[in-house]
Structure 1
Amino acid sequence: MSNENVTQRLYLGIDLSTQQIKCIVIDEQLQTIAEEAISFNDNSLLVHHVQPNGFVVDKNDKRCITTPVFVFLEALDVVLQKLSDQKKFDFSNIVGISGCGQQHGSVYWKTKTELGSLKTDNNREQSLSLVNILKSSFSRIDCPIWMDSSTTNECQSIEKSVGGSQNLFQITGSKAYERFTGSQIMKVANKTPEIYEQTERIQLISNFVTSILLGEYAPIDLSDGSGMNLLDIRQCKWSKACLDICGKDLETKLSEKLVHPRTALGNIANYFVERYGFNSQCQIVSFTGDNPSSYYALASDPKTIVISLGTSDTVMGAISANEMPKQALDGHLLVNPLANDRENTLLMLLLCFKNGSLVRERVREETGSKDWHEMSVLLSQTTPSNQGFIGFFYDDHEILPQNIQGRFYFNADNQKVENLEGAAKARAVLEGQCLAKRLYLQRANIDLTKNVDRIVITGGASVNVDLVQILADIFGKPVYAAVAPNSGALGGALRAVDVITEKSNSTTSSVECLIAAQPRSQYTAGYDEMLLRYTKLEEKIIQDAK
């Protein structure tokens, strides 16, 4: 069946995340038609389930965290079957598929023979699943995922090989991190050389799923490839120095070819046509990492800052490679999925603040507020800028600033105080977190005046009207709320729409957002001054911790 004959053109987005696989089907008007999710610990649906959390923690080394590749394969089959069982749409109307995977995780192929049979075998017994067909395809069954932190020595070797963390940041957009794929590959190559030798192809979770859908090896995309400590993000090609230290013939095992996330790679494999009734002309568009995919869904253009307010708070924005910070950050720079031209060296900034909603909830409880309505009443007793009181709430070891832990309170004279009274503490936690986001964006050379038009927020805390208003006032920008709980999968579906309908960069599909707060200029000026104090006080905290 050709795509021209379909009665309703639909698009499927898939997100293979840490603990589950999620799917969303949308139409060309970007309306949701169906959704489905399967948790990796669901023993009622999965033979290859993982208890209790959907991943495996090594009993001998709790830093080693993996997921068996068969969990991914079976979950893909099951989620598609569950989606089919809904009977809300005809699979033959799906004309495009894209999606994302948890960043940094890696899959190790021994051979592509069985993979190729997914594409070409027209006479396979219908009962054979992906696990059955691909059971002999992998040199390593357990896939290291982003939660793994066992590669400190390998990280040090990578940084040393290029002259230090500063140089590595300038090449790859990040200092060396244990969860990044380069150090994970180096560990496999050094500690299990026989497995590395047997490995024909190493993939990220994202292009692994793409490969399954195509029935052939798919290339790594530039955005997800930026999270490996292996890619020269300005040249958009592998860094030879980084490859050489991580493994012999690594470029061959990864494939020299790299693509942008907005790249159509071919038609869906025959396995999915026969088993689920997909259209044989359904196009597979390159998958990417979960963070770039969410950013794609939520940022309509490079002048949008996206803030996810959850257990940890994540900030994403765009920056030109020419304006890349000279000093290494404890954040990350990736090739931006909004640009599909390698000459347009647009990067995506990713900042993660570990102390997010859990700290906000803890402070709410400490102030005696039963809920956020009571907290709001408390906040009404204070004024913006909090009469000079500033608080730093690092209940867990923070990422930005790195590895600082504790509570730090200061009065209007910058003197450290033991504690703050309830109303002042309630405002201090919200203002402090928003000031931190603005500070680290500015340190990353994001020009908020010239290069930012608006902020889009998502996540559980995005319904907190006080937090949203403070965010608007501190940034001096309007804040919009996006209702997109499945933004990674949705970003995949939207990329499929854009590629197949050939939309240009300037008309990228994104989630509809509603205005949540307008900045109040009379308060923004006060926050400008407060940010200067906040910066100096943070520097003092860091210095005292040394």
Structure 2
Amino acid sequence: MKLVAGIDAGTQSIKVVVYDPQSRQLVASASAALELISGEDGSREQEAAWWVDAVRSCFSRIDPALRGQVAALAVSGQQHGFVPVDADGNVLAPAKLWCDTSTSAECGEIMDAVGGVARCIELAGNPILAGYTASKLPWTRKHRPEVYAQLAKILLPHDYLNFWLTGEYFCEYGDASGTGWLDVRTRTWSKELLRATDPQRDLGACLPPLVDAGATFPIAAAIADELGLPREAVVAAGGGDNMMAAFGTGAVVPGKLSMSLGTSGTLFAYSDTPVVDPAGAWAAFCSSSGGWLPLICTMNCTVATESIARLFGFSTREGDARIAASEPGAAGLTFLPFLNGERTPDLPLGKGVLAGMDMHNLGEANLYRAAMEGATYSLKYGFDAFVAGGMRFDAIVLTGGGANSAAWRQMVADIFNLPVEVPKQGEGAAFGAALQALWALGHAQGDATPVADVVAAHLGTDPALGAQPDASRHAAYAKAYRRFLDHLSAVRPLYAA
């Protein structure tokens, strides 16, 4: 029996799952929490060593007999981060993360250097948005010049963990899309955007080589021994967390819309061709399965509900009771949950706004509902862009921590007026990484089964967790959503970059 493992390196934790392809069962899982370094300037950072320590901790809690049967593993990593590494492979500074908005000014500087937003989209398919890796380089040059002087390799979080596992530098197209430098149409680094980021230095020489989705690499013997894995195990290319969640939700064929309710919120769907919006209404990313993955990302999702729950001293596990004690529209409360700035809508300097308070609606149930609604309305704002661009969907496949809430699943169905499906395997990104490892292992062994067939064979939904939209609630949410859009229009000038 051969097992596969998936590692999900998220913002809040590292998760490891071990999957048995024969029995179609997860046979082990473990997680370890991560800290976050936050600054008032919008900086959000983590030490790369924390990820490594957490991976070690997770594997140490998995039965050695199972670890010894792992034939392949893959990493799902939070996108857009920047891990600066010197010529000897040493990390030079804390990694700036996807939710770091301290480099917002540098986004504009890079785009101005190539001729503006439209030219940037023409060159790469995407603008340089807050949090994208590209903006972190000029910020580092300005604020950490000693780090920039020693910089030899530019790695994403996923790339760094792969380097630790294999001793080799490589990057795959899906995760590379989130740097802002990859021309998603041609799947090549844009030399013009690299020059715009730093005209005095060849940043291309610092980037790892790009590899295909089916690539595999031998695990370093010392790391295999340390983790209790076979020395013959291989490390698949893996990918960004959204790309791996696409495997874990079945978004490797056209027509499926996946939604992840995690620290960030995302909407994504597979395409056989590049899907670029001239105005940059969505991220025109590559997939990690050979195609493309148009994607909407919000920077505040479960962050919003967790913040309100913490304020009132209860756990989000108790949140559904608060939703049940309130009505759609939160009795007139509107929450713009831009606690980390925001990418969709594009307000990197945005702040959270609570509006519509009166003597009757200011209670914890309405506030918690307003936070959940606000996070969902931000995703609806992005969904509207997809629809305006001609995309059509029959259902939403839901994953992420928020998908554990029956109230949130129903809210999504009601707001989007679409049925909601939930995969049997709840850890979408970690499970998706395991499926990517399974497919890549077969690919390396000469199995020509298409990736979509491999995913379909191992993915199922749980009917008990699905939700159907309710017409009356949809009407109530539609009214509250219009109110959300009105307040968004009102505050845009206050938080313009």
Scaled to the shorter chain, the TM-score interval is 0.7 to 0.9
Q: Quick one: which amino acid aligns to residue 333 of structure 1?
A: A
Deviation at 1:74, TM superposition (A): 4.5
Residue 14 of structure 1 corresponds to 7
From 392, 397, 400, give the equivalent of 1:456: 397
Residue 514 of structure 1 corresponds to 462
Aligned ranges for residues 109-258 of structure 1 at < 5 Å? 109-111=85-87, 137-138=89-90, 140-172=92-124, 174-189=126-141, 195-217=147-169, 219-247=170-198, 248-255=201-208, 257-258=209-210
- Superposed CA deviations along residues 446-486 of structure 1, whole A, max 9, x for unmatched, are 678x6312212234543544443343234332112346554
From 281, 306, 327, give the equivalent of 2:232: 281
Q: Quick one: which amino acid aligns to residue 220 of structure 2?
A: A
- Count of residues in correspondence between the two structures: 472
Q: 1:206 to 1:435 in 2, by over 3 A?
A: closer
Partner Cα separation in structure 1 for residue 381 and residue 263 of structure 2: 20
Task: Tell me the TM-score normalised to structure 1 length.
Answer: 0.72
Deviation at 1:243, TM superposition (A): 0.7
Deviation at 1:183, TM superposition (A): 2.0
Q: 1:141 to 1:425 in 2, by over 3 A?
A: closer
Deviation at 1:437, TM superposition (A): 3.0
Are 1:492 and 2:433 counterparts? yes
Are 1:472 and 2:421 counterparts? no
Q: Quick one: which amino acid aligns to residue 239 of structure 2?
A: T
Partner Cα separation in structure 2 for residue 483 and residue 455 of structure 1: 14
Residue 335 of structure 1 corresponds to 286
Q: 1:391 to 1:11 in 2, by over 3 A?
A: same
Residue 35 of structure 1 corresponds to 29
Partner Cα separation in structure 1 for residue 76 and residue 6 of structure 2: 8
Deviation at 1:145, TM superposition (A): 3.3
Deviation at 1:166, TM superposition (A): 3.9
Q: 1:230 to 1:418 in 2, by over 3 A?
A: same
Partner Cα separation in structure 2 for residue 167 and residue 433 of structure 1: 31
Task: Tell me the TM-score normalised to structure 2 length.
Answer: 0.78
Are 1:376 and 2:324 counterparts? yes
Instruction: Give the conservation status (yes or no) of the 8 Å contact 1:171–1:233.
Output: no
Partner Cα separation in structure 1 for residue 488 and residue 79 of structure 2: 31
Instruction: Give the conservation status (yes or no) of the 8 Å contact 1:468–1:479.
Output: yes
Partner Cα separation in structure 1 for residue 246 and residue 18 of structure 2: 19
Residue 120 of structure 1 corresponds to none
Are 1:97 and 2:73 counterparts? yes
Residue 222 of structure 2 corresponds to 271
Deviation at 1:34, TM superposition (A): 1.8
Deviation at 1:318, TM superposition (A): 4.0
Deviation at 1:312, TM superposition (A): 5.1
Partner Cα separation in structure 2 for residue 203 and residue 325 of structure 1: 27
Partner Cα separation in structure 1 for residue 325 and residue 254 of structure 2: 37
Instruction: Give the conservation status (yes or no) of the 8 Å contact 2:255–2:392.
Output: yes
Partner Cα separation in structure 2 for residue 75 and residue 543 of structure 1: 39
Deviation at 1:508, TM superposition (A): 4.4
Q: Quick one: which amino acid aligns to residue 64 of structure 2?
A: K
- Superposed CA deviations along residues 201-237 of structure 1, whole A, max 9, x for unmatched, are 22212122222322322x2111111111211122211
Q: 1:146 to 1:525 in 2, by over 3 A?
A: closer
Q: 1:531 to 1:239 in 2, by over 3 A?
A: farther
Residue 357 of structure 1 corresponds to 305
Q: Quick one: which amino acid aligns to residue 203 of structure 2?
A: L
Instruction: Give the conservation status (yes or no) of the 8 Å contact 1:335–1:348.
Output: no
- Superposed CA deviations along residues 483-510 of structure 1, whole A, max 9, x for unmatched, are 6554332221111112223441332426
Q: Which moved more, 1:269-278 or 1:230-239?
A: 269-278
| SS across alignment from 1:146 | coil
Aligned ranges for residues 66-81 of structure 1 at < 5 Å? 66-81=45-60
Are 1:347 and 2:294 counterparts? yes
Partner Cα separation in structure 1 for residue 85 and residue 70 of structure 2: 29
- Superposed CA deviations along residues 88-115 of structure 1, whole A, max 9, x for unmatched, are 4251x2111101223222333333xxxx
Residue 537 of structure 1 corresponds to 486
From 406, 412, 417, give the equivalent of 2:353: 406
Deviation at 1:155, TM superposition (A): 2.3
Are 1:87 and 2:64 counterparts? yes
Partner Cα separation in structure 1 for residue 461 and residue 101 of structure 2: 37
Q: 1:275 to 1:19 in 2, by over 3 A?
A: same
Deviation at 1:529, TM superposition (A): 7.1
- Superposed CA deviations along residues 350-396 of structure 1, whole A, max 9, x for unmatched, are 3444574247759999xxxx9634642654xxxx899xx86531254
Partner Cα separation in structure 1 for residue 374 and residue 216 of structure 2: 45
Q: 1:526 to 1:26 in 2, by over 3 A?
A: same
Residue 291 of structure 1 corresponds to 242
| SS across alignment from 2:7 | strand
| SS across alignment from 2:422 | strand
Partner Cα separation in structure 2 for residue 276 and residue 363 of structure 1: 39
Q: 1:492 to 1:376 in 2, by over 3 A?
A: same
Deviation at 1:10, TM superposition (A): 0.6
Instruction: Give the conservation status (yes or no) of the 8 Å contact 1:291–1:488.
Output: yes
Instruction: Give the conservation status (yes or no) of the 8 Å contact 1:480–1:513.
Output: yes
- Superposed CA deviations along residues 31-56 of structure 1, whole A, max 9, x for unmatched, are 1122233445xxxxxxxxxxxx3x55
Residue 258 of structure 2 corresponds to 306
| SS across alignment from 1:326 | coil
Instruction: Give the conservation status (yes or no) of the 8 Å contact 1:334–1:349.
Output: no
Structure 2 residue runs without a partner (length 5+): 444-448
- Superposed CA deviations along residues 267-320 of structure 1, whole A, max 9, x for unmatched, are 222223455553343222113222322332123444232233355544333457
